[in-house]
Chains A and B, each alone.
Chain A
Amino acid sequence: MADDVPTLKNVVVRASLLDENLPARTVIGPEEFTSSNKSQLSNELELTPGLNVRVGGRGEPRIDMRGYDQRSILFTLNGVPIIEPYNGITNPNLFPLDALAEVETVRGPSSTLYGPNGVAGTIKLTTAEARAPFGASLTTLWREHDFWDVRPSGSTRVGPWSAVVAGRYLSSDGFPLSGSFDDRPPTRRRLENGGLRLNSDQEYGSAFADVGYQLGDATQLRATYVFSNVSFGLPPSTTQFLPQFLRSDREELQHVHTGIEHRIAPNVRTGVTLFYSGYDTTEAQYDSPSYDQRILTTWVDTNAVGAISHTAIDLSTRQALAVALQGWWSEADVSNSSRGGLVQPDIETVSSGVEHVFYLTDWAWTVTGFSLDLQTGSARSADWQPNPQGGVVVDTGVAGTARAAISRKVRFPTMRELFDPRQGNTGLNPETVLTFEVGDRFQRGPVYLELSLYRSEVTDLIDANGASDDQRNVNLNDAVLQGIEVAAGAIAPLGVRLDANYTFLDATAKNPVTGSWDRIQNRPRHRFNGILRVPLPYQFAVRLEGIYASSHADQLGSSVTVDGFGLFNAQLSRPLGPFLVLFGGVNNLLDQDYDQKLGQPQSGRWGFAGLRATY
């Protein structure tokens, strides 16, 4: 087995002083990746406090953070934004898990160094480091209904060079519905009779490569490339009158970034990174669930090219400063087989940010930041937005580390919100969010407790106004998202470990007609999740997971709700010698029939087994 050796740092990571101090953070590290045996990133994220993972309109998992949808969550890979400029939404499952060393969710407005749009928070993906002289792993996972997930990876480090490669191929005929699946009231549209969910097949192919070079002690170079291509069916709603039969023939991400970091002086470090993201989708509409005849094909191809520069300076033993400048140009080409080209907008985004930390004493310090963010482009005049952030941290000792923060942040409208051929509105203002947060983190030995209370006041919320078939995006109304997050855990004797999270969310938006504050759709008020890991004799290990989400409104202000649900997963694993681990288990152990969105029933009981080889 390869020895652990000092590895090259991720040179393009912008270490944020704000992120390290003010927001709530949860880190999913290698240990969790190894023990969870998940095949998709979304399955890892749904066990994180403050996050709710559900099925989105395009059939992909959508991540909500603190009541915001994914347009308000910034995704970064080694500190570089993954930009899908049209919808503003990145499918998290495009990233192969074996390419990742760590996933950090930062809940609270993203750092001023990261520019606009992350009003809910940031999900930071950090890629795997190379092992010396080389390492390799192969994970295979099988589930019922011909689900296969194969993930090879390898790495090497020779002299100043390092390289990591990883891949993933996942294929599934679909997922099973619960045995108690009910097609709801008697209708004339029985498309589902139980068994395998109609059109829930999927196929993922991903490749990852990373090459680093250490030039002396002060300079590092690195290039990272991710490619993912996905095709999947979109299971039709079981409740709509005329379900649409859609298929994502292609969802393709190509992302590359390359950067250099140089230590100018012992206390000054600077770096610059260039990046490119291409995100293309092809969605087809068919006349029947058997995909016999294609009615319409829609293409959305996007490109984004940009650069980031970052400098960190330790001013003294009590002060540090970080500045960043970034900008990117993005464009989209939207067309369909009926009308041909629809829109071809472009958007430019520029942001400059600064952060400062000042230690008042050994146990109290302040963190402040300011960014100036700009969006301009097709039919848009330049919109400059100043965004300050600040807070204070106090290490109380016995009562943990307490923090209080306030920030202003904007989310610029996405290209779709601006330029959609039917709903687009080029006159949209950005959503402006004022967030207040207090929190505390306490840790004593094997026990930890984190508490966060937050309130976000959203002005100029962007939403579609009008009947479902005739909507137009407008700065419709205001919203308030407030809640409490509790994360607690302990490691007991004999290696038993429990992590448990509770999230209370009160997400309401002002109804522009009635003036009442209505619940925002798809936002469960209460959410619990937990993981219990128990080592057993003979090297067996049990892992139990539980998720409970309370009922939530189907539409804004609707009296129709989606039922709450509880899920339990169980897994047993055992090493087979020094290189192999065998694992197996059952997801949705109780075979509960549940929806995450009205008319979108999710998987019932589903058994799996796998083998992981590591060298």
Chain B
Amino acid sequence: MKSAFDCASIALLAAAVAFTSPHAQRALAADTTACPGDCNSDGAVTINELIVGVNIALEIEPVTTCPVFDASGDGTVTVNEIILGVNASLNHCPLPAATETPKPQATSPTEAPSATPSPMPTATATPDPDQVPVSDVIARDAAGVAVHIGETVTTEGVLTVSAGIFANNKLKVFAQEGLAGVMVYHETSSQVPAFQAGDRLQVHGVVRQQDPTSDANRAIGTVIVDVTHGSWQVLSSNNPQPSPQQVTLQTLKTDGTRYTGAVVGVADVRKVAGNWPKVGDKSTQVTISDDGGVTQTILRFQRNTITEPMAAKLDAIGDGPFTLSGIVVQDDPSTDGTLLHGFEIWVRGADDIQPAS
């Protein structure tokens, strides 16, 4: 019976979402002062809370379970009042006046939450109740499209690379929290501080996906948080760097999206094609393999990583084996299916390359 109720709840919820037109939002929101649907008063409305509201509407649960759904105070919960809850879920609750950090805003009211386990914002232990974990920011659907694409989110993580290493006049850094990493992007360096690796950074920006070889292309690539029109805050500095997740290139081939944006380590790697970069070269890529050439991927040296120590180390390695650390970036997957569906590894400096002992 419970599953039947859940189905009914979902159907009612879907109907509520379908009627969440801008006109309806304006009409209904005019009467609302509290945060409808926020049963636990945590500043966010989750799917579970919406289902509670639907259950109240279906008279499965009493209105006292979550009185804030009863916006009209008539002792019942109507579809309109559930719509208020859906709006709060999408647009988030009114912010406390003392909070300075900008809050996320859903950009598309027509994007309904799915009935599956939701990646919607949930409260965390951080100061911002609407903050989204990095692992949620980079969540993707089966087609590789970021679930939150186009949405404005707040998230935080420890930077694994300093500003300026991957781009001089744009911000291209990666923030990692736990095992998940995401690129933080700004259109111009003139508006952004020079964040350093080890900074714990809280950012507020739009989720996008990008072919990293072309800033203009919107492809099924690396998930980024674009803070060009957003905000940021360095919460602390000199935090320890996350340890590289040890992977094989075969692992990247089969499960690359999971590692995209994060620091990984690969052992016993050899260059199988291309020439090592030398000082003065621009961005250079070589092809590497860790299984004798069967599985290959691109190792990319951005211009500012091609220093004298790096060139000397690469000269010493030659065609020999080495261990590798770096950040996984996903190129346009349609370009070349033989190269791990576009996954490549960006090194951050000479320390990311070590000759095999």
In the complex the two chains form, is B164's CB within 8 Å of A242's CB?
yes
With A285-B280, A559-B228 given, is the CB distance from A466 to B196 under 8 Å? no
In the complex the two chains form, is B169's CB within 8 Å of A188's CB?
no
In the complex the two chains form, is A187's CB within 8 Å of B214's CB?
no
With A188-B193, A241-B164 given, is the CB distance from A470 to B283 under 8 Å? yes
In the complex the two chains form, is B280's CB within 8 Å of A338's CB?
yes
Q: Report the number of A-B residue pairs with Cβ-Cβ less than 8 Å.
A: 106
Instruction: Check B279 for interface membership: any CB of A closer than 8 A.
Output: yes
Chain B residues in 8 Å Cβ range of A599: 169, 189-190
**565-615 of chain A: CB within 8 A of chain B:** 598-599
Instruction: Check A295 for interface membership: any CB of B closer than 8 A.
Output: yes
In the complex the two chains form, is B163's CB within 8 Å of A598's CB?
no
Instruction: Check B251 for interface membership: any CB of A closer than 8 A.
Output: no
Chain B residues in 8 Å Cβ range of A237: 169
Instruction: Check A398 for interface membership: any CB of B closer than 8 A.
Output: no
In the complex the two chains form, is A560's CB within 8 Å of B190's CB?
yes
A513 to B211 Cα, complex, angstroms: 12
In the complex the two chains form, is A467's CB within 8 Å of B167's CB?
yes
Chain B nearest CB from A333 CB (Å) reads: 16
In the complex the two chains form, is A241's CB within 8 Å of B187's CB?
no
In the complex the two chains form, is A187's CB within 8 Å of B279's CB?
no
Chain B nearest CB from A25 CB (Å) reads: 38
A468 to B283 Cα, complex, angstroms: 9
Instruction: Check A558 for interface membership: any CB of B closer than 8 A.
Output: yes
In the complex the two chains form, is A560's CB within 8 Å of B280's CB?
no
Instruction: Check A264 for interface membership: any CB of B closer than 8 A.
Output: no
| Chain B interface main SS type | loop
Q: B4-31: contact bitstring with A at CB < 8 Å (1 yes, 0 no)? A: 0000000000000000000000000000
Q: B56-91: contact bitstring with A at CB < 8 Å (1 yes, 0 no)? A: 000000000000000000000000000000000000
Instruction: Check A318 for interface membership: any CB of B closer than 8 A.
Output: no
Chain A residues in 8 Å Cβ range of B191: 184-185, 560
In the complex the two chains form, is B167's CB within 8 Å of A186's CB?
no
| Chain A interface main SS type | loop
A187 to B188 Cα, complex, angstroms: 13
Instruction: Check A217 for interface membership: any CB of B closer than 8 A.
Output: no
In-complex Cβ contact of B188 among A189, A285, A422, A560 (8 A): A560
Chain B nearest CB from A17 CB (Å) reads: 44
**510-548 of chain A: CB within 8 A of chain B:** 511-514
With A422-B282, A513-B217, A559-B228 given, is the CB distance from A468 to B188 under 8 Å? no
Instruction: Check A444 for interface membership: any CB of B closer than 8 A.
Output: no
**208-253 of chain A: CB within 8 A of chain B:** 237, 239-242
In the complex the two chains form, is A242's CB within 8 Å of B304's CB?
yes
In the complex the two chains form, is B214's CB within 8 Å of A240's CB?
no
Chain B nearest CB from A518 CB (Å) reads: 10
Chain A nearest CB from B203 CB (Å) reads: 15
A513 to B214 Cα, complex, angstroms: 10
With A241-B194, A242-B168 given, is the CB distance from A560 to B213 under 8 Å? no
Chain B residues in 8 Å Cβ range of A512: 216
Chain B nearest CB from A468 CB (Å) reads: 6
A422 to B275 Cα, complex, angstroms: 13
Chain B residues in 8 Å Cβ range of A466: 213-214
Interface centre among B168, B171, B212, B228 (most CB of A within 10 A): B168
With A240-B168, A469-B303, A559-B187 given, is the CB distance from A185 to B192 under 8 Å? yes
A93 to B83 Cα, complex, angstroms: 69
Instruction: Check A554 for interface membership: any CB of B closer than 8 A.
Output: yes
Chain A residues in 8 Å Cβ range of B308: 295
Sample of 23 A–B contacts (CB below 8 Å): A184-B191, A185-B191, A188-B193, A188-B194, A239-B169, A240-B168, A241-B163, A241-B164, A241-B168, A339-B280, A339-B281, A422-B281, A466-B213, A468-B167, A469-B166, A469-B282, A469-B302, A469-B303, A470-B283, A513-B214, A555-B187, A555-B188, A559-B228
4 smallest CB-CB distances across A and B, nearest first, come from A241-B164, A239-B190, A242-B164, A470-B283
